[in-house]
Amino acid sequence: AASRVTVLGLGSMGSAIGRTFVERGYRTTVWNRTAGKSAPLVDVGATASATAAEAVAASPLVVVCLLDGAAVDEVLASVDDVVAGRVLVNLTSGSPAQARADERWVSEHGAEYIDGKIMGDPPYVGTPNFTVLLSGSRSAFDAHESALRVLGGVGYHGEDPGFAAVEFMAQVAMGYEMLIGFLHVLKLVRAEGGDVTEFAQRFAGSLAAYPPLLTGIAKAVASGEYPPDLGPLRVQAALMDDMIDHRESVGVETMRMRQVKELMDRRIADGHGEQGFSSLFELLAKEG
Ligand code: NDP
């Protein structure tokens, strides 16, 4: 485990990361394009470097947290002759393709690469409410796991450097897929004169039913055998008609409910009316 760490990029996230390393006793070297941003970190005990190359040379472990992939490319190009032999952990947001390209560049320059995607806000760095999804070099992860755990919860998602970004996209997508549905339901609750806050509290009480449901659906998808979760599709499809009618009667959009109904109808027409909701996955796979 490294007792020395370098942080490249002192925006709100990089500054919180640098500060956390200092507070946990790491000899922390920092660099930022706009030099003034390093002053608060120097005040708490970090060492500021004038160039990114100098900062990289100072530590075996280098954490990068810049605005985007273009910024990372620019900064990496300026450290190409000092990066060899180090471990670079890039916590900048970006795509799986960007992560894989960065890994190739870093490997070609004789260093090891770990890609990371951050789930959490700067004030939570160093707490359990801050999660970093990681993927890339297993040996580098094993060597620096304790330093990375200083930042918060850490999950290692495999040697493919793109996997952390894939997991990030999936996690974020789940949030949006659920929350847009939630907003439409609030519209419906309000259209019927209900109290949206009270409804949210009641629904929060129903959430405990979801973890086993999610696991069951994933098992069905993995095995290709679809038990009648939520009831057989032919029964569910009848309820969908009522849900669509109700939404129409109060002026709430029906797009997603119609999509679900359409998938159910196709599955039933294919002779699978006794299977469960999970079996709709078969139709999604065909479209992909
Ligand atoms: P900020 O805008 O606060 O900081 C951006 C940093 O990138 C600054 O240090 C900036 O330097 C640097 N930078 C931008 N372009 C270049 C460049 N061409 N060359 C060198 N340095 C450059 O962003 P955050 O710190 O909030 O975010 C950093 C990363 O963390 C992003 O990828 C973001 O998506 C991710 N993240 C942030 C979260 C948050 O809540 N803040 C949450 C989850 C992820 P300069 O000071 O010179 O402009």
Averaged pLDDT of the chain: 96
Determine the distance separating the centroid of ligand 1 and the alpha carbon of 206, expressed in angstroms.
38
Index of the ligand 1 atom closest to the CA of residue 34: 47
Nearest in space to 112 (alpha carbons), one of 77, 62, 163, 67: 62
Residue 20: its pLDDT value, please? 98
Index of the ligand 1 atom closest to the CA of residue 119: 43
pLDDT band at 24 (very low <50, low <70, confident <90, very high): very high
Determine the distance separating the centroid of ligand 1 and the alpha carbon of 97, expressed in angstroms.
19
N-to-C CA span, the chain: 43
Report yes or no for ipTM above 0.85.
Answer: yes
Helix (H, G, I), strand (E, B) or coil at 134: strand
Q: What's the sign of the alpha-carbon dihedral 229, 231, 236, 242?
A: negative
Protein residue closest via CA to atom 42 of ligand 1: 121
Cβ(192)–Cβ(186) below 8 Å: no
**265: pLDDT strictly greater than 50:** yes
Protein residue closest via CA to atom 16 of ligand 1: 71
β-strand partners of 88: 62, 113
Q: What are phi and psi of 272, to 5 degrees?
A: -115, 30
Q: What is the pLDDT of residues 151-171, one digit of tens each?
A: 999 999 999 999 999 999 999
Protein residue closest via CA to atom 31 of ligand 1: 67
Across the range 259-263, mean pLDDT stands at 96
Does ligand 1 lie within 6 Å of residue 12's CB atom? yes
**22: pLDDT strictly greater than 70:** yes
Does ligand 1 lie within 6 Å of residue 32's CB atom? yes
Protein residue closest via CA to atom 1 of ligand 1: 11
Which residue reads 């992939």 in tokens? 69
Alpha carbons within 13 A on the beta-carbon side of 58: 23
Cβ(97)–Cβ(110) below 8 Å: no
**288: pLDDT strictly greater than 70:** no
Residue 285: its pLDDT value, please? 67
Across the range 262-280, mean pLDDT stands at 97
Domains of the chain in sequence order:
4-159 (3.40.50.720), 195-287 (1.10.1040.10)
Across the range 224-245, mean pLDDT stands at 95
Residue 286: its pLDDT value, please? 56
Predicted model pTM:
0.88
Index of the ligand 1 atom closest to the CA of residue 66: 7
Q: What is the pLDDT of residues 156-213, one digit of tens each?
A: 999 999 999 999 999 999 999 999 999 999 999 999 999 999 999 999 999 999 999 9
Does ligand 1 lie within 6 Å of residue 13's CB atom? yes
Q: What is the pLDDT of residues 81-123, one digit of tens each?
A: 999 999 999 999 999 999 999 999 999 999 999 999 999 999 9
Q: What angle do CA 26, 31, 37 make, to 5 degrees?
A: 105
Protein residue closest via CA to atom 3 of ligand 1: 11
Residue 256: its pLDDT value, please? 92
Burial of 260 (0-12, 13-18, 19+ CB in 10 A): middle
Determine the distance separating the centroid of ligand 1 and the alpha carbon of 67, expressed in angstroms.
3
**139: pLDDT strictly greater than 50:** yes
**230: pLDDT strictly greater than 80:** yes
**1: pLDDT strictly greater than 60:** no
Q: What are phi and psi of 233, to 5 degrees?
A: -55, -35
Does ligand 1 lie within 6 Å of residue 67's CB atom? yes
CA 272, CA 234: separation in Å to the nearest integer? 9
